[in-house]
Amino acid sequence: MTRRGGRAASAGAGRPTANLGVQRWCRSATLEGNTTVTGTTKVIGIIGDPVSHSLSPQLHNAAFEACGLDIVYVPLPVGARAVGAAVQGLAALGLRGANVTIPHKGAVVPYLSSLDDDARLLKAVNTIVVDGDEMRGYNTDVEGVRGSLEEAVGAGLHGATGLVFGAGGAGRAAALALARMGVRVTIVNRTAAAAERLAALISAAVPGAGCRWLALSDLTAAEVVAQRVVVNATPLGMAGAGKVPAPLVDTVTAGQVVFDVVYTGGETDLLAQARARGANVVDGLSMLVRQAAVAFELWTGERAPLKVMQDAIARR
């Protein structure tokens, strides 16, 4: 069992607020301060398998602490067979909510009371808010993609071409975000049927989107060169997950925006090569912070401290 080094109790200094039943403690905004767990501390978790690699505990605990919120964020490893019990347990145990990560973003859906529009459309939930017996599911990954892209290139992608490699949870979020930004999206996926389904879903959901699809085996260098935005939304590039296929990595050029949803200890191979060729790169940490900021606001009703969140994962 790992002990929290040097974290001392400081419960006497608190002053409650009315906000969502969460106590606010009078302490300064500090990243290294004294997070305290008391009898009134609210708990938020991350459900997934595995979750040990997740940066979300660092990111959210720094944010709660900096905002003086009496909330602690914990990893909750949950196997596939325990998903229903785990989601129902959130309310039973009085948690304020949870994040959901791979592979449970779809599996949690049947256990929730309601879904926001994006979660319902994509059949993927990455954030749960618990309000008494009610559990609401949200998809904040879509805003994570939109916010990171807009930060990198502004709002000027309307009419541009974009390729999304992957049709899983991250691919669906990326395709929807890009289509809403006015990008003409092509979905590329190893399993062609999943690409076809996603293209149909996006075309139906976003008026005028006209989303295309291609099987990965049909992807050519010319197709990649024709794109203004290229997104890797597969796990390829993570340690042990294999490499992003050559037509993508070897063909990205200056003038393109290359976005890798994967986050690793350093820069992914795709982004390193794209940067070396003069492309504008967007990394998975940027998306992680953006989707986390929306989740933070859903749980607390407060504006998320973006800079604190960015610094917390930069120090990992």
Residue numbers of the site for ligand NAP (CB under 6 A)?
102, 141, 144, 166-171, 189-191, 194, 233-236, 238, 242, 261-263, 284, 287-288, 291
CB of 227 to ligand NAP, least distance (A): 18
Residue nearest to ligand NAP (CB): 168
CB of 315 to ligand NAP, least distance (A): 18
CB of 289 to ligand NAP, least distance (A): 8
**Complex with ligand NAP: residue 57 or 168, whichever CB lies closer:** 168
Only one residue has tokens 């050519």, namely 220
Helix (H) or strand (E) segment spanning residue 243 = none
Q: What is the DSSP string of 288-313?
A: HHHHHHHHHHHHHSS---HHHHHHHH
Q: Exposed, middle or buried: residue 244 (CB in 10 Å: 0-12, 13-18, 19+)?
A: buried
| In the chain, beta strands by DSSP E | 14-16, 23-25, 42-48, 71-77, 97-100, 114-115, 127-131, 134-138, 161-165, 184-189, 212-215, 229-232, 257-260, 280-282
CB of 310 to ligand NAP, least distance (A): 13
Only one residue has tokens 């859903």, namely 298
**Complex with ligand NAP: residue 69 or 282, whichever CB lies closer:** 282
Confirm whether 123 is a catalytic residue. Answer: no
**Complex with ligand NAP: residue 125 or 287, whichever CB lies closer:** 287
* Set 105, 123, 243, 307: catalytic member: 105
Active site residues: 105
